[in-house]
Chain A
Amino acid sequence: MAEKKASDITKYRFLSSRGKAAELICRKDWSNTSVKPIPLWPQSLRTTLNLSLSLLTPVLFLWGKELTCFYNSAFYELLEENDKGILGTKGGELLNDVQHFKNVIRNASSESLTVHPFKFELIGNRSFLYSVSPIFNEENEVAGIYIHLNENISDTKKNITRELEESERKFKMVADTAPAMIWTSNIHRSYDFLNKGWLDYTGRLMEEELGQGWTQGIHPEDIERCADIYNHAFDHQKKFSMEYRLKRADGKYRWIADEGTPRYSSEGEFLGFIGACVDIQERKMAREELERKVLERTSELNKRNIELQLQKEFADTILESSVDVIAVLDTELKYVTLNRSACEMYKVSKEELIGKKMIDVFPGIIDSGMYNDLKTALTGQTIHNPKYRSTVLEKHFENFYIPLKNRNDSVYGVLLVSHDNTAIVETTIQLEQTNRILEEKNLALERTNKELESFSYVASHDLQEPLRKIRTFAELIQKDLKNEKIARKYFSKIETSAQRMSDLIKAVLNYSRLSKTEDLYADTDLNNILMNVRSDFELLIQEKGAVIKSNKLPAIKGIPLQLNQLFSNLIGNSIKFTENTPKITISAKIVDPHNMPAHPDIQPEKKYAQLVFRDNGIGFEQQYSDQIFTIFKRLHSTESYAGTGIGLALCKKIVENHRGFIAVKSKPGKGSEFNIYLPVN
Chain B
Amino acid sequence: MESKTLNCLLIDDDPDDQEIFCMALGDMGKEVNCTFANDGVDALKKLSENSVLPDFIFIDMNMPRMNGNECLAKIKEENHLKAIPVYMYSTSADPATVAETQRLGAAGFIVKPTSVSELTKTLKFCLK
Contact = CB atoms under 8 A, between A and B. Distances in A.
Interface of A: 457, 460-462, 464-465, 468-469, 471-472, 475-476, 493, 497, 632, 634-639
Contacts of B38: 637
Interface stretch (B3-11, B44-52, B81-89, B110-118): B110-118
A343 to B, nearest CB: 68
Contacts, number: 51
B16 A493 contact: yes
Interface in B16-36: 16-17, 20, 23
9 contacts: A461-B91, A465-B91, A468-B112, A469-B17, A475-B115, A476-B116, A635-B65, A637-B14, A639-B14
Given A457-B94, A461-B91, A469 B16 contact: yes
Interface of B is mostly: loop
B110 to A, nearest CB: 13
Closest 9 CB pairs of A and B: A471-B114, A637-B13, A461-B92, A460-B92, A465-B91, A635-B64, A634-B64, A475-B115, A464-B91
A468 B64 contact: no
Contacts of B23: 476
A472 B115 contact: yes
- The interface size bin for chain B is 20 to 34
Given A461-B90, A638-B14, A639-B15, 9 more contacts: A457-B94, A464-B92, A465-B14, A468-B114, A472-B20, A472-B113, A636-B64, A637-B38, A639-B14
B114 A475 contact: yes
Contacts of A460: 92, 94
Nearest to B38: A637
A548 B92 CA distance: 41
B122 interface: no
Contacts of A462: 62, 91
Nearest to B12: A637
A460 B91 CA distance: 8
Interface string B38-79: 110000000000000000000000111100000000000000
Interface in B95-119: 112-116
Contacts of B90: 461
A547 to B, nearest CB: 28
Nearest to B114: A471
Given A636-B64, A637-B13, A638-B14, A472 B94 contact: no
B116 to A, nearest CB: 7
B24 to A, nearest CB: 10
Nearest to A457: B94
Contacts of A475: 114-116
A242 to B, nearest CB: 120
A462 B91 CA distance: 8
A333 B63 CA distance: 77
Given A461-B92, A493-B16, A637 B116 contact: no
A636 B38 CA distance: 10
A69 B16 CA distance: 183
Nearest to A475: B115
A154 to B, nearest CB: 161
Contacts of A632: 62
A465 B63 CA distance: 13
